[in-house]
A and B are shown apart, each in its own frame.
Chain A
Amino acid sequence: AQTVTQSQPEMSVQEAETVTLSCTYDTSESDYYLFWYKQPPSRQMILVIRQEAYKQQNATENRFSVNFQKAAKSFSLKISDSQLGDAAMYFCAYRIWDSNYQLIWGAGTKLIIKP
């Protein structure tokens, strides 16, 4: 069975600095999607970034980028120039390529931004 592990329950970073959130996963599949979702205090889930496993290039969305290491089954999220609005719970999620879109979720990392 697929599993997703986020080993950092909480992280803090100074505003404008860079922070990296860790995520590892376990699967025997070769094709899949990986996601980072943000859940701010409003609790609305927001997609931050996604990565297709067949792509070697790391995904980037403005200040957010990932370090995808397929062999190591690692998928970390780097947030550059941290802003107060980045404060939220961040969840790493895995989706099998040909499934009915069911996601396997990590436990989440609470990100605190220090002004």
Chain B
Amino acid sequence: GAVVSQHPSWVICKSGTSVKIECRSLDFQATTMFWYRQFPKQSLMLMATSNEGSKATYEQGVEKDKFLINHASLTLSTLTVTSAHPEDSSFYICSAPGLGAEAFFGQGTRLTVV
């Protein structure tokens, strides 16, 4: 089946620095990529929807300037957490729709800000 590769799988960064998370669709073209945040023992919370070649659409309450999303090609979407703080520590997941009805998920990124 289709594969979405997400990197890094985990990252530790210092407070105030920026971290970039990449999601690549390996064997299909992803015109849309969803970015989720997941707190421990909770469900997926949609942060934003990126579309290739256009600006991302952010959900209410998500800071656009803190969570920068770029979707410059049909196989790569990136999420950059800028000026990260401990409260940004979380699990981030990307997901791309396939040709059928199901979605394909990256492996997730565990971000820890110290």
Which A positions have Cβ atoms within 8 angstroms of B?
33, 35, 42-45, 47, 50, 52, 89, 91, 95, 100-103, 105-108, 110
- A50 contact set on B, CB distance < 8 A: 101-102
Q: Contacts of B91 on A, CB cut-off 8 Å?
A: 43
Q: Decide yes or no: A108 and B101 within 8 Å by CB, A44-B107, A102-B34 being known contacts.
A: no
Q: Are A106 and B102 in contact (CB under 8 A)?
A: no
B interface secondary structure, majority: strand
- Is A101 in contact with B43, judged by CB distance below 8 angstroms? no
In the complex formed, the residue of A with least CB distance to B91 is A43
- B34 pairs with A108, CB closer than 8 A: no
What are the residues of chain A within 8 A of B12 when measuring CB–CB? none
Tell whether, in the assembled complex, residue B43 and residue A91 are in contact, meaning their CB atoms are under 8 Å apart.
yes
Q: A45-B105, A106-B43, A107-B43 are in contact. List 8 more A-B contacts (CB 8 A).
A: A44-B107, A44-B108, A45-B95, A89-B41, A95-B101, A101-B103, A102-B46, A108-B42
Whether B102 lies near A47 (C-beta < 8 A) is yes
